[in-house]
Amino acid sequence: MLAAVLQVRPLDESDPAGKSALHVLLWQRALEPEQGKWSLPGGRLGADEDLTSSVRRQLAEKVDLRELAHLEQLAVFSDPRRVPGPRTIASTFLGLVPSPATPELPADTRWHPVDELPPMAFDHAPMVQHAHHRLAAKLSYTNIGFALAPAEFALSTLRDIYSAALGYQVDATNLQRVLERRQVITRTGTTARSGRSGGRPAALYRFTEARYRVTDEFAALRPPG
C-alpha cells in the first residue's frame, strides 16, 4: 500500500504569500535497499484491513497525517522486478490535503514539488506522475477542488490553487463562470479583509459540497493557446 498525498503549498515556506506549487509528501529511506532515496509513505496490508483503512492507518502512524480531505485508489503496480527480493505488488492511492493545513511531520518526512522530485526509490516517481495526472484530469470534470482549497476563499486564491495543480495558468473569470454554472462554488456573502494596498475587498466563495462528485463527465480544462 502506497499513498501519493498532494497539497498546494508555497514554494518558499518563509513566504506564504508567494508562488505556490503542487507538492507530494515523501519520506527518506533510512535502510537498504535504496537507502537515502525518497519514497511514498505506505506499508503492508493488515490481515483484518480493507485497502482504504490500511492506507489511512499507515499515514496516521508513519507520517502522522490525519487531515485528508479526499482519498481514492489509483492503480496497481505489478512489474515482477519493481523491487528487489520477493515479488511485491503495490496498490497506490491518491490523497489530498487542503490549504492551508500544516500537518506536523516527522523529521524524515517532507513536502516536495511534484515537478522537482528528489532521487526516488524504486518506481515511486511514476506513481507520483500518475497521481498528478489523475488529479489534473479530475479538476476538469469533478468538484475535487474542494479537497485542495480552504473552507472559504477569494477567486484569486482558487485560481492559484487550480493553476498550481494543473501546471498552467488559469483565468479566474473563466474558472468562476465554469464552476458557478456547474453549481460547484457559491458566494458566502462575506468579503476578504483588505490588503495593504487597500482597494475593494474580494468576495469570498466556498464549495457547495465537501464530498466528491462528477459535475460534467465530458468537460476538460485546457491550457491557454
Does a structural domain hold residue 225? no
Mean predicted confidence (pLDDT) in 186-212: 86
Closest alpha carbon to 94 in 111, 70, 78, 115: 70
46 and 149 both lie in a single domain: no
Do 92 and 24 belong to one domain?
A: yes
- The x, y and z cell numbers of residue 220, run together, are 476538460
Strand partners, 72: 94
Domain count across the chain: 2
Residue 224, domain member (yes or no): no
Q: Categorize the per-residue pLDDT at 117 as very low, low, confident or very high, splitting at 50, 70 and 90.
A: very high
Q: Rounded distance, CA 3 to CA 124, Å?
A: 10
The CATH number assigned to the domain holding 147 equals 1.10.10.10
Q: Band of the pLDDT at 218, cuts 50, 70, 90?
A: confident
Of the listed ranges 63-67, 138-142, 157-161, 201-205, the one predicted with least confidence: 63-67
Residues 34 and 72 in one domain: yes
Same domain assignment for residues 108 and 172: no
Q: What is the pLDDT of residues 55-101, one digit of tens each?
A: 999 998 878 787 799 999 999 999 999 999 999 999 999 999 999 88
Predicted pLDDT of residue 39:
97
Quick check: is 128 in a domain? Answer: yes
Question: Distance between CA 71 and CA 50 in Å, rounded?
Answer: 14
For the chain, give the percent of residues with pLDDT over 90.
Answer: 77
**Residues 135, 183: one domain?**
no
- The mean pLDDT value of the chain amounts to 92
Range of the structural domain that residue 7 is part of = 2-140
Are 46 and 73 found together in one domain?
Answer: yes
Residues 18-34 have a mean pLDDT of 94
For residue range 149-191, what is the model confidence (pLDDT) as tens digits?
999 999 999 999 999 999 999 999 999 999 999 999 999 999 9
Strands 185-191 and 203-207: antiparallel
What confidence tier does 198 reach under pLDDT thresholds 50, 70, 90? low
Residues 30, 79, single domain; the answer is yes
| pLDDT score, position 14 | 77
| Range in 125-139, 145-159, 198-212 with the lowest mean pLDDT | 198-212
Q: How high is the pLDDT of residue 208? A: 97
Say what the pLDDT of residue 199 is: 66
In a domain, 218, yes or no: no
Residue 99 belongs to some domain of the structure: yes
Do 122 and 43 lie in a common domain? yes
In a domain, 217, yes or no: no
Grid coordinates representing 165 are: 495543480
Q: Is position 222 within any domain? A: no
Distance of CA 161 to the CA centre of its chain: 10
In a shared domain, residues 108 and 161: no
What's the CATH number where 23 sits?
Answer: 3.90.79.10
Instruction: Mark whether 102 and 22 lie in a shared domain.
Output: yes
